[in-house]
Amino acid sequence: MKFLQNIGLILFILGLLVFTALPFLGTYQLEPSMVEEHTKEMHQEAMQEILEPMVGKTYSSNFSFIKAYNQHFNTYNEALKEEQAWDQVIWDDYLFPLTKAASSGPVAEAPNLFMALSIGLAVLGGLLYIFPLYRNVPAGIKHDGIYFSAMKARGWLGIITGTYLIGFYVILYWYPEYLANLVIMVDPLSYLLSGNPASQWFLYGLIYTLAILVMGIRMFRKYKGNNYQTIRTVSVMFFQLSFAFLIPEILVLFNMPWHDFKNIWPLDYSFFYEYRIDGMLSSGALGMFMLVWGIILIVIGVPIFTYFYGKRWYCSWVCGCGGLAETLGDPYRQLSDKSLKSWKIERYLVHGVLVFAVLMTAITITNYFMEFSLLGQATDQLHAIYGFAIGSAFAGVIGTGFYPFMGNRVWCRFGCPLAAYLGMVQRFKSRFRITTNGGQCISCGNCSTYCEMGIDVRWYAQRGQNIVRSSCVGCGVCSAVCPRGVLKLENGSEEGRINDMPIIIGNESINVKSS
């Protein structure tokens, strides 16, 4: 078993190395036909002229190709900006599609082979490592050695992993042209699903989904015997694979807009953007359903479900961000900060992002209905700021890249505007709570340590109080790790949900009258 696991580890690392090396393979040659195919008509002439010096040359790496492109392109644009000829400046980004088109070499020739050697090996290796985990070991808590681990306790492996993830996200969001070969590699799969070539987002979606599936199986092994963990993991795996990955691609195959039916505004912050609304409105009955369904989820779905089950119905059962956090991020859950100070920062930040998202959307919708007489194209600037700061930097780079440093729910805790909305319902109008079992708490701290949301669960439990907190995503791990059976996630009557016990059950010496 150990042998299989070691093989798995080696295969995973090999796959990761191949994946990391692929962008550096091959040569790059630009042809006028590529420029014609990948630029808008209005820019055709200018782009052909700008890139003319590059045509026919062979660039030996993506670095030299991208450098040459930027040089020519920026010289052109900067000159126009100097002259303040704003209407002639090219704002569109053609670098990624042109790099992808210009790339030739082993990956473009045999994409499936390289897919097998990179993502395929990594998945296979991961599974070989995971399947034998805890075999012939009784079901129970598997936390031995976590704080001695170089990976899980901010050791050198964790630092390397975090750095790699952060680097990947920075490149994905702001320098996708360097990933051209990787995107070429997943083109065949993309054609199969949607009939279209892959974008960097397809590549990302594929890796994301595979990470949830493979690490989801790890959850089954780790939490063997805990049905709540198993069922909820099946749920996030299902929603990611179908709703977030397959269905949107298949929609595209049928000329529908790419749409994730389980993503809810304001997490899905572009839901009310002009292009999305227009896309839905021009897609017939299904498009109209997308719009109505989306609004129903916001206005009725969130409050009703959260009233009955708490925000967990979304955050740890359905959501994609939550899905990744609960699977890929599970090894890092103990790294969340439990201090009062971080709770304070959390409340300012998460509600701040919610206010930002609501204001931005309100302005966008108003502008839309006033047919852009209010602010013209200024909302685009607002969208760009939100997309950069919140959508990319916060949710992606920090949200996932910081798993090995600050735990697996950094985005969900400090940034997600939907979590803030769900949290308000959960805190003030819900049947959900974590019940503390009378006086059985021994203050050991396992619950607080393994709370991914940084809730100091023990603070409540040792007072005999139920835990009612807006941030709780209901992952159920506090309950699982409690060695005395003190915590239970429950939906129940609102009466007595928030309880304050001056004297914990079991001591009859003092009652409220005598004190």
Partner 1 sequence: MIENNIVILGNGISGVTCARHIRKNNPKVPITLVSAETRHFFSRTALMYIYMGHMTYEHTKPYADDFWEKNDISLRFGWVKEIDFGQKQLKFEDGEVLGYQQLVLATGSKPNKFGWPGQDLNGVQGLYSYQDLLNMEENTRDIDHAVLVGGGLIGVEMAEMLASRNIPVTFLVREKGFWDNVLPKKEAALVGRHIREHHVDLKLETALEEIIPDSSGRVKAVKTSNGETINCQFVGLTAGVSPNIEVLKNSELETNRGILVDHQFRTNLPDVFAIGDCAEFKTTPGKGRKHIEQVWYTGRMHGETLAHNLTQKKAVNYTPGIWFNSAKFFDIEYQTYGQVPAEWTEDSWSFYWESESGKVALRFLFDLEDRILGMNAFGWRMRHEFFDRAISEGWKAERVIRQLDKADFNPEFHKNFHQQLLSQYNREKGTSITLPKQSFIQKLIGSRS
Where on the phi/psi map is residue 30: left (φ > 0), alpha (ψ -120 to 50), or beta?
beta
The answer to whether the CB of 27 falls within 8 A of the CB of 60 is yes
Q: Which is nearer to partner 1, 268 or 490 (CB)?
A: 490
Question: How many residues make contact with partner 1 (CB under 8 A)?
Answer: 57
Q: Which is nearer to partner 1, 276 or 338 (CB)?
A: 338
Options 89-97, 269-277, 318-326, 436-444: segment touching partner 1 (CB under 8 A): 436-444
Site string for partner 1, 253-272 (x = CB under 8 A): --------------------
Options 66-74, 144-152, 159-167, 207-215: segment touching partner 1 (CB under 8 A): 144-152
Q: How far is the CB of 152 from partner 1 (least distance, A)?
A: 9
Tell me the Cα Rg of the chain: 26
Q: How far is the CB of 102 from partner 1 (least distance, A)?
A: 51
Q: Residue 26, interface with partner 1 (CB under 8 A)?
A: no
Q: How far is the CB of 268 from partner 1 (least distance, A)?
A: 27
- What angle, 0 to 180 degrees and rounded to 10, lies between the N-to-C axes of helices 200-222 and 320-327? 50
Site string for partner 1, 296-315 (x = CB under 8 A): ------------xx------
Q: Which is nearer to partner 1, 53 or 140 (CB)?
A: 140
The 3-state DSSP class for residue 104 equals strand
Backbone angles phi, psi at 59, to 5 degrees: -100, 135
Report how far apart, in Å, the C-alpha atoms of 75 and of each of 50, 68, 97, 308 are.
9, 11, 20, 59
Of 312-341, binders to partner 1 (CB under 8 A) are: 339-340
Report how far apart, in Å, the C-alpha atoms of 421 and of each of 312, 429, 470 are.
13, 12, 9
Q: Residue 449, interface with partner 1 (CB under 8 A)?
A: yes
Report how far apart, in Å, the C-alpha atoms of 325 and of each of 70, 211, 401, 455 are.
37, 10, 11, 16
Q: How far is the CB of 216 from partner 1 (least distance, A)?
A: 17
Place of tokens 């000829």: 85
CA 119 from chain center: how many Å?
A: 19
The answer to whether the CB of 320 falls within 8 A of the CB of 263 is yes
Q: Which residues, in sequence order, are CB contacts of 259 under 8 Å at separation 6+?
A: 247, 248, 251, 280, 290
First CA to last CA distance, the chain: 61
Instruction: Return the residue of 58, 88, 112, 443 that touches partner 1, per CB under 8 A.
Output: 443
Q: How far is the CB of 137 from partner 1 (least distance, A)?
A: 9
Q: How far is the CB of 245 from partner 1 (least distance, A)?
A: 26
Options 102-110, 132-140, 265-273, 387-395: segment touching partner 1 (CB under 8 A): 132-140
Q: Residue 445, interface with partner 1 (CB under 8 A)?
A: yes
Q: How far is the CB of 12 from partner 1 (least distance, A)?
A: 23
CA–CA distance, 59 with 65 (Å, rounded to integer): 6
The answer to whether the CB of 35 falls within 8 A of the CB of 52 is no
Of 471-500, binders to partner 1 (CB under 8 A) are: 476, 479-480, 483-485, 488-493
CA–CA distance, 479 with 437 (Å, rounded to integer): 11
Q: How far is the CB of 104 from partner 1 (least distance, A)?
A: 51
Contact set with partner 1 (CB under 8 A): 138-141, 143-149, 226-228, 231, 308-309, 339-340, 431, 435, 437-440, 442-446, 448-449, 458-459, 462, 476, 479-480, 483-485, 488-493, 503-510, 514-515
